[in-house]
Amino acid sequence: MSNPVTPVTPVTPTDDAALPGAAENSDGPKPYAGYLLGLADDAMVYAQRLGEWMTNAPQIEEDMALGNVALDLLGQARGLYPYVGSIDGTGRGEDDFAMQRDEREWRNVHLVEQERGDFADEMARLLWFSAYQVELHTALAGSSDDVVAGVAGKALKEVRYHLDHASLWVVRLGDGTDESHRRMQDALDRVLPYLAELFDDDAASAEAAELEVGVLPSRLHDAVVARVTAVVEEAGLTVPDSSTWR
C-alpha cells in the first residue's frame, strides 16, 4: 500500500521584527503568551520525537513521510516562538525557546514527549494528536490575533494530511493480520493515560479564550473523539470510554 509523501517546504529563519504585532506591545506583555508557548512546545517536542523514526520506520517511504510531518510541526513551532518572545516581554527568539530552557520550563503535553516505541504506538499517538490539532487550528484560524490566525491557517492544511496519514495506517494495521490488529489495539490502549491532558483547561487557555485569541481545550474534546472513533471503528478496533482516560 503506497502512502503519500508531501513535498518538503524549506524552513527559513524568521525575522522577528517582521512579525505582525511585534512592535505593537508598548502596553506590556500579553497575557496569552503562555498559552501560545504551550502550543509551540507541543509542536516542537513532537517534531523531535517523530524525527527519531528516520531510518527506523518500517518502509523507506515512511521514513520520509514521518520526516515531513516532523518538519511541518517544526514550522508551526517556529511560527510561534518569535512571536511569543515579542509579546511576553522577554524579547527571546526561536533558538532561545528551543535550546536555552530547563526541562521544567517547557509547557508541552506529556503525550508528545513519550519515547519512540512500536510503530503502532506512533500511529496511535499521531492519530490522536493530529485529530486534536485539526480541531485546534480550525478554531485558531478565527483568532482575534492576526499572527495566531495566520499560523493556524497554514498549519490546518498540514495537520489534515497528518490525520489522513495516521488514519490510513491505523486502518491498515487494525484490519490486517491478527498480529497487526492486536498490536494496534494495544497501542491505542497504551496511549489512553496521556489523552485527558489534551483537553484540560487552565488559566492560560482560559485567558486566551476570553480574549478570543485561543480556545478552551475542553471545547475540542467531543469533535476530536468523534474523529478518532470513526477511524478506529473502521479499523475494527475499540476506543475505551473517555471516563477511563485518567
Write out the chain in H/E/C secondary structure. CCCCCCCCCCCCCCCHHHCCCCCCCCCCCCCCHHHHHHHHHHHHHHHHHHHCCCCCCCCHHHHHHHHHHHHHHHHHHHHHHHHHHHHCCCCCCHHHHHHCCCHHHCCCCHHHHCCCCCHHHHHHHHHHHHHHHHHHHHHHCCCCCHHHHHHHHHHHHHHHHHHHHHHHHHHHHHCCCHHHHHHHHHHHHHHHHHCHHHHCCCHHHHHHHHCCCCCCHHHHHHHHHHHHHHHHHHCCCCCCCHHHCC
148 pLDDT above the threshold of 90: yes
Per-residue pLDDT, 1: 44
Residue scoring higher pLDDT (245 or 155): 155
Per-residue pLDDT tens digits for 113-137: 988 889 999 999 999 999 999 999 9
pLDDT surpasses 80 at 2: no
Q: What is the pLDDT, as a whole number, of residue 6?
A: 46
* CATH fold group of domain 30-244: Ferritin (1.20.1260)
pLDDT, tens digit (0-9, with 9 covering 90-100), for 210-229 = 999 999 999 999 999 999 99
- The rounded percent of the chain whose pLDDT value lies above 70 is 85
Give the pLDDT of residue 102: 83
Q: Give helix 60-87 / helix 146-174 axis angle, nearest 10°.
A: 160
pTM exceeds 0.85 for this model:
yes
